[in-house]
Chain A
């Protein structure tokens, strides 16, 4: 068991990181911490992909000269370019999601003055209760009149 973990230490690290990220995303009450959790989770996936895409002893997937004016076209010399492409796409997606989440968080803060979703719900229900009691007061005053 331990041997396998040591052999795949990048993957093990990626799994642990993504676990940390996911727990933060789910359990943190503060939205900024939630978003940081999301970023940790995404980064863990990139680590996993990068570790899987790297083969020891092979070159980056850019054609190398073979010394006699030509190019080395044997695919076994290079690593697979797809995982790197996936990491790039993933980074783009995670940057835009983060920006969007931060924008919504800002809106929430403007509206409620808190970064905690549950706190926001509590404040909203309190406000509603106050509003309703005001309406009831106004109605009872009308009845008295």
Chain B
């Protein structure tokens, strides 16, 4: 059993972030107090998550525990649940959130009016809280409520720039998100109707009975299809991804980084939890859903890259590349094995740390080009802001899967995992094709920023100290995840086993 301090961490983390979000609007705006408070709270939650991870994994056996909320015990009350996988994900979400906020500090101040920065901090705190809640929740309806909170906060940070373009992108994003969460709500109500429970383990037991007795198989299949579609819309799986480039490509850099790096991942992890803990992998296979998401994942890997190839705006290009990367995660999930899901979770963490780095770099480079985002305008910007240039090159290498960069390790784990699956040939072919396609648009971007130009803009502001610090941590994370990923993968596998 874990000690009492670690036992309370899941609840305290969410609660602390919520409290920070509530008190931020009444704080004085001078000396950047709201921004500092948000960053400190997220840092404290990161430290607590690290301690939780340590206390859950320092024994020889991996353990997970349920934290009852309120006075009613299971199966009536609400619960949080923490295991090694939840702890490692919330740790990485907090770190990435912190780095995205710090690295884009100056561009946030440029883009967002002084009176609105407090509200931006509120939204960021709410987003972190709801991401952690999606990670820790053991109750499906709580999951739904936090999906909606994530939706509103995410649309808020898209619209935070208050330009006409971002308002339009935010509305488009909101409509698609509402379609997704509506489908999830219908599916949850159907599942509650079928099983009589909302806690994941109790639902699982009831679903086992349904599968054995073969009663109500059609409603069960329909609810699985609805919940998958709903969460696929929220996490931008390919045919449902057309809202993403607008929302991620037009918003301020910190928002793009957080949206691409974290928001998509929160929903995917909820889907993973539903597959493993509510339905069970054998039921998913029996209902054929693993094949469906495998095919959609492969389609996303190819089509995301094809769309990215056609972009001339660097942020939109990186946004379409996120669609391809989400495809990798769904491919791992579609393999329907422990190794496949572990590889998918590893890719969640790796993409969560690379994509914000790419957006932060793109922000730095376009500032150096006089706030132009067209690829041709970025020529020679590497020499104006070398930190951003380095980030872009490292991120591009990672996306292409060059060894020693982070993307390599998740691609290798996905390849190794696909050997246990009947789809091994398709999976390997898709991974190879997607890597080549990634190279086709990242290599030209790197060549453009490295090409010397005669009349380079002379008055480029030097990158701030915060920018340099967060970029060096991003780079260090990139190399760490690329070179020493085995301990992390083992940890994730232990987490998946007790999920």
Contacts and interface: CB of A to CB of B under 8 A. Distances in A.
Interface string B166-204: 011011101100110011011001001100001000000
A124 B148 contact: no
B226 to A, nearest CB: 10
B171 A104 contact: yes
B491 interface: no
Contact of A112 (B155, B162, B168, B185): B168
B182 A41 contact: yes
A34 B186 CA distance: 18
A122 B211 CA distance: 51
Which of B151, B159, B174 has its CB near the most chain A CB atoms (within 10 A)?
B174
A101 B178 contact: yes
Interface string B298-320: 00000000000000000000000
A97 B178 contact: yes
A84 interface: no
Contacts of A25: 175, 178-179, 182
Interface string B122-166: 000000000000000000010011001001100110010010110
Given A86-B189, A97-B148, A97-B151, A26 B167 contact: no
> Is the contact region of chain B dominated by helix, strand, or loop, or is it mixed?
helix
Contact of A93 (B148, B167, B168, B193): B148
A108 B168 CA distance: 6
Contacts of B148: 93, 96-97
Contact of B164 (A49, A82, A124): A124
Contacts of B193: 48, 52
Taking residues whose C-beta sits less than 8 angstroms from the other chain, chain A's interface range is 20 to 34
Contacts of B168: 108, 111-112, 117, 120-121, 124
Interface string A22-35: 10011000010010
Given A93-B148, A97-B152, A105 B178 contact: no
A93 B191 CA distance: 20
B145 to A, nearest CB: 6
Given A107-B167, A112-B168, A124-B165, A26 B174 contact: no
Nearest to A106: B167
Which of B144, B148, B170, B189 has its CB near the most chain A CB atoms (within 10 A)?
B189
Nearest to A123: B164
Contacts of A120: 164, 168
A61 interface: no
Interface string A85-128: 01001100100110011001101100110000100110010000
Contact of A107 (B144, B159, B182): B159
B185 A90 contact: yes
B182 A42 contact: yes
Interface of A: 18, 21-22, 25-26, 31, 34, 38, 41-42, 45, 48-49, 52, 82-83, 86, 89-90, 93, 96-97, 100-101, 104-105, 107-108, 111-112, 117, 120-121, 124
Interface of B: 76, 141, 144-145, 148, 151-152, 155-156, 159, 162, 164-165, 167-168, 170-172, 174-175, 178-179, 182-183, 185-186, 189, 192-193, 198
